[in-house]
Amino acid sequence: MTINRRGFLGISGAAIAVSAVAPGLRLIELAEGRAPDQAVTPKQRWGLLIDAAKCADGCTACIDACHEENGVTGNNRPATDPQWIRKVTVEDNTTGFRQSFPVMCQHCEHPPCVDVCPTGASFKRADGIVLVDKHTCIGCRYCMMACPYKARSFIHEVTTGQKTHAPRGKGTVESCTLCVHKVDRGDNTTACAVACKKEGHEAILFGDLNDPGSEIRKRLKQKPSTQLRPDLKLNTGVRYQGV
Amino acid sequence: MANIHYRPFEGCTTGFYGVLAVLAGVLLAALGAAWYMEHNGHWVTGMTNQVIWGTPHVFAVFLIVAASGALNVASISSVFGRALYKPLSRLSGLLAVALLAGGLMVLVLDLGRPDRLIVAMTYYNFKSIFAWNIFLYVGFFAVVIVYLWVMMERRMNIYSKSAGTFAFIWRLILTTGTGSIFGFLVARDAYNSALLAPMFIVFSFAYGLAIYLLVLMAAMKGASRDLGDVVFTRLRRLLGVFIAGSFYFVLVYHLTNLYITQRHGIEAFVLLDGGIYTKMFWIGQMLLGSLIPMVICFHSGLGKSRSLVALACLLVVIGGLAQMYVTIIGGQAFPMQLLPDKTLVSSGFFDGVVAGYRPSLPEILLGVGGVAIALLLTAVAVRALPFLPESLSDTVADPHHKTT
């Protein structure tokens, strides 16, 4: 096979173009890895996978760890004390089968709390984490009316022992932040997931739902999973298996 | 219609100042209660993380709904051209503004951060019906005040139909917004219904007119002015129609829910086994708030008695508060489900059980304070400006009226 001059130039040109552009593309990819001072992008969708079958009855390691990590303290008043994460027990209506699992903010793709918030204090980050802006929350509690998961708490009294990464103020609303400070630090996990693993249960897995190579996506691909209140079609960031 | 003359409420009667003093006292107590709740945090109230909106919201929403309804009397005159209602219009606009002020005061003072009201006025999320309502409420003040000016300034009278029509449309949108605060909540079985918006509009007709008639009777009596049977009977029958309309909407709302299997739980809760909420519904909303006043308003014999009709108006108010209690607090007390076909049996956060709620004194004081400021504003305004007609005697209301 002979290559004429025109063909040779074409192939050479293409080769040069590829070798010139490829490192650039790689650079773009690298640049998308986020530095701490850069804005989050929708490239990631952080979420949790909770395997109810592995969740031990009576274990509260995730709750304790969450509240410790985020400085969430109560005053022995269960009705008004805050809860970022709780354990619930459900019973199958037909079979009577019971199981427990933790429930926290589900970090919905279409969060009702964000829809109803009059000031925009309830917001969803580009990477799917739903948060409350403590500066613009006026304490109207409409988000708590709207949340199907009872995931939010109103701060009913003066707070003590706050953590710098999780500011809390009387008269505003709060909920699970998906340990956003840890996510932004690159820890790639949450306090509840760490605690659950430490207890040997591994019922909570944190990860990027958008990354096909992530552990969370692989596990979701292997076995059926569900969302809480699937009828509402909120596309939650927290998924459940074994329920 | 004879020429209508208006005059401020006159006479330094001890009664008038006595009423002012009582209202001011209640208002002070309400402000004290609000300070106490804000200072300590909401744990001192009956509200919790389960029942998030409590008694203040019952009063606030009731007053806001009633405010838009109180404007109806003016609308009937300006928009629908009924001459008989013309002398009644000014008081109607005044009450609308005053009741809204009362409702908003309660709503704002119950915020977790009332000091951040400026944030609510400067940051908006336009997908939130609450944000829309901020515009609708503030706009309502402006619209109704302009409407009042157009009605009260002789040179501007020619615009009263256009101003009245604009205010009428505004109030319909406003109550749609108030009903939609609940109608747009998808999570809870008691809400999540387009029916709530029109239902709140019909409720507003009844609540607003009941308060209007009570205030009109008290003011005319206090000022020793005539309130003839022609006007009185017309308003009484209209109130009856509005109560019947409210009754119809409640019926359709519950029938719809009873047809939807998913909602049998909430229906059983409200209609059968919800304890205080069931009692509030049947005794408060239905018997006291609907059936008894309806009978009084439509019965030609009973309806002649001014005191019985005043009682009927009061019952509509009580029934309205009971209705708001069932809707707002009952709707939150009923537990939410997380998964289909599974019942929440326990949790560390009151899941799966009916949430407890007991109204606390500061909450009640704040709510009643909203009523107090509405009445206080009305009383001061009718004394300062010519809101009340000199007479509503039968010959003034209807020159062709013949006493039989």
Give, in order, the Cα–Cα distances in Å from A143 to each of A39, A93, B333.
Answer: 25, 29, 16
Mean pLDDT for B87-104 is 97
Q: Strands A85-92 and A98-104: what pairing? A: antiparallel
According to the model, what pLDDT value does residue A22 have?
64
**B-interface mutation test, from A80, A85, A100, most B Cβ less than 10 A away:** A80
Residue A18 pLDDT:
67
Residues A81, A25 share a domain = no
* A144 plus A62 within the same structural domain: yes
Q: Render the burial of B74-86: b for 16+ CB within 10 Å, e for the rest.
A: bbbbbbeeeebbb
Residue A5 lies in a domain: yes
My answer on whether A80 and A2 are in the same domain is no
Half-sphere exposure of B68 toward its Cβ, with a 13 Å CA cutoff? Answer: 31
Segments of chain A assigned E as strands: 46-51, 85-92, 98-104, 122-124, 130-132, 153-154, 173-174, 204-208, 238-241
C-beta of residue A139 within 8 angstroms of C-beta of residue B112? yes
pLDDT at B352: 85
Within a domain: A168? yes
> How many C-alpha atoms does A159 have within 13 Å on its Cβ side?
23
CB contact under 8 A, B43 and A94: no
Of B158, B202, B167, B222, residue with least CA distance to B14:
B222
Residues A20 and A51 placed together within one structural domain of the fold: no
Give pTM, 2 decimals: 0.92
Categorize the per-residue pLDDT at B47 as very low, low, confident or very high, splitting at 50, 70 and 90.
Answer: very high
Is A90 in CB contact (< 8 Å) with chain B?
yes
Please state the domain count of chain B: 1
B265, part of any domain: yes
Nearest to B219 by CA among B385, B393, B378: B378
Residue A40 lies in a domain: no
Range of the domain at A23: 1-31
The per-residue pLDDT for range B109-118, each reduced to its tens digit, is: 999 999 999 9
What residue numbers bound the domain in which B292 lies? 14-336+347-397
Give the per-residue pLDDT at B349: 84
The answer, for A134 touching chain B at a CB cutoff of 8 Å, is no
Q: Residue B332: closest CA among chain A residues belongs to which residue?
A: A145
DSSP B195: T
Q: Is the dihedral of CA B376, B379, B382, B385 positive or negative?
A: negative
Which three-class secondary structure state does DSSP give residue B328?
helix
pLDDT tens figures, B370-400: 999 999 999 999 999 999 999 999 887 776 7
Strand pairing of A204-208 and A46-51?
antiparallel
**Structural domains counted in chain A:** 2
Residue B8 domain-assigned?
A: no
Q: Which residues of B touch A147 (CB under 8 A)?
A: 187
Task: Round to whole Å and give the CA distance between B201 and B402.
Answer: 36
Q: Which residues of A touch B328 (CB under 8 A)?
A: none
pLDDT of residue A14: 77
pLDDT of residue B184: 94
d(CA B71, CA B314): 18
User: Which of B115, B128, B260 best probes binding to A when mutated, by most A CB atoms within 10 angstroms?
Assistant: B128
For chain A, which residues score pLDDT lower than 70? Answer: 1-2, 18-36
A198 domain-assigned: yes
| Closest partner CB to B41 (pick from A89, A120, A156) | A156
CA distances from A216 to A87, A237, A243 (A): 21, 11, 17
CB contact under 8 A, B111 and A138: yes
Please give the residue of chain B at the shortest CA–CA distance from A170: B41
Q: What is the pLDDT of residue B159?
A: 94
B268: part of which helix (H) or strand (E)?
Answer: helix B264-268
pLDDT score of A2: 63
Residue of B36, B49, B360 best to disrupt the A interface, most CBs of A under 10 A: B49
Contact residues on chain B for A83, CB-CB shorter than 8 A: 49, 348-349
- Please name the residues between 157 and 196 in chain A that touch chain B, using a CB distance below 8 Å: 157-158, 170-173
A112 lies in the same domain as A146 = yes
∠B29-B365-B172 over CA atoms, to 5°? 120
pLDDT value of residue A23: 58
Segment B151-163, tens digit of pLDDT: 999 999 999 999 9
Is the distance from CB of B104 to CB of B64 less than 8 angstroms? yes
Encoding tokens for residue A78? 């269960």
Give per-residue pLDDT as tens, B1-45.
557 899 999 866 788 999 999 999 999 999 999 999 999 999 999
Closest C-alpha among B335, B49, B292 to residue A156: B49
Please indicate, yes or no, if residue B284 is contained in any of the structural domains: yes
| Dist CA B47 CA B357 (whole Å) | 7
Q: According to the model, what pLDDT value does residue B260 have?
A: 93
- Residue-wise burial string across A2-30, b where 16 or more C-beta atoms lie within 10 A, e elsewhere: eeeeeeeeeeeeeeeeeeeeeeeeeeeee
* Bridge partners (DSSP) listed for residue B308: none
- Which positions in chain B touch A55 (Cβ < 8 Å)? none
Cβ of A53 under 8 Å from any chain B Cβ? no
Mutate to test the interface with A, among B51, B52, B360 (most CBs of A within 10 A): B52
Residues of A in contact with B347 (CB under 8 A): 86-89, 103
Q: Considering only alpha carbons, which residue of chain B is nearest residue A159?
A: B41
User: How does strand A173-174 pair with strand A153-154?
Assistant: antiparallel
Sign of CA dihedral B109, B115, B121, B126: negative
Q: A74 and A11 share a domain?
A: no
Which of B73, B68, B77 has its CA nearest to residue B141? B68
In the prediction, which pLDDT does A5 show?
A: 73
Residue A140 lies in a domain: yes
pLDDT at B375: 98
Contact across the interface for B40 and A157, Cβ inside 8 Å? yes
Alpha helices in chain A (DSSP H): 5-31, 61-70, 112-116, 142-146, 180-185, 191-198, 215-222
If you count residue pairs, one on A and one on B, with CB atoms under 8 Å apart, how many are there? 180
Q: What is the pLDDT of residue A11?
A: 78
Sign of the CA dihedral with B319 first, then B324, B325, and B327 last: positive
B72: domain CATH number is 1.20.1630.10
User: Cβ of B340 and A142 within 8 Å?
Assistant: no
Residue B402 predicted with pLDDT over 80: no
Looking at the complex, does the CB of residue B399 fall below 8 Å from at least one CB of chain A? no
CA distance linking residue B285 with residue B277, whole number of Å: 10
Residues 116-175 of B with CB under 8 A from A: 116-117, 119-120, 123-125, 127-131, 133-134
Query: Phi, psi at residue A123, to the nearest 5°?
Result: -145, 160
Provide φ and ψ at A237, rounded to 5°.
Answer: -85, -15
pLDDT tens column, B231-244: 999 999 999 999 99
Q: Share the mean pLDDT of chain B.
A: 94
Whether A99 and A175 map to the same domain: the answer is yes
Side chain identity, residue B317: V
Q: Which CATH number goes with the domain that contains A214?
A: 3.30.70.20
- Which of B:300-339 have CB within 8 Å of A? 332, 336-339
Strands A238-241 and A153-154: unpaired
Neighboring chain A residues of B48 at a CB cutoff of 8 Å: 79-80, 156
Dist CA A240 CA A229 (whole Å): 11
In terms of Cβ atoms closer than 10 Å to its own Cβ (0-12, 13-18, 19+), residue B118 is: exposed
* Cross-sheet strand order for the sheet of A46-51: A204-208, A46-51, A238-241
Interface check for B278 against chain A (CB to CB < 8 A): the answer is: no
Residues A9 and A50 in one domain: no
3-state helix, strand, coil in chain A (%, to 5): 30, 20, 50
Are A88 and A5 within one domain? no
| A64 & A9 share domain | no
Per-residue confidence (pLDDT) for residue B15, from 0 to 100: 87
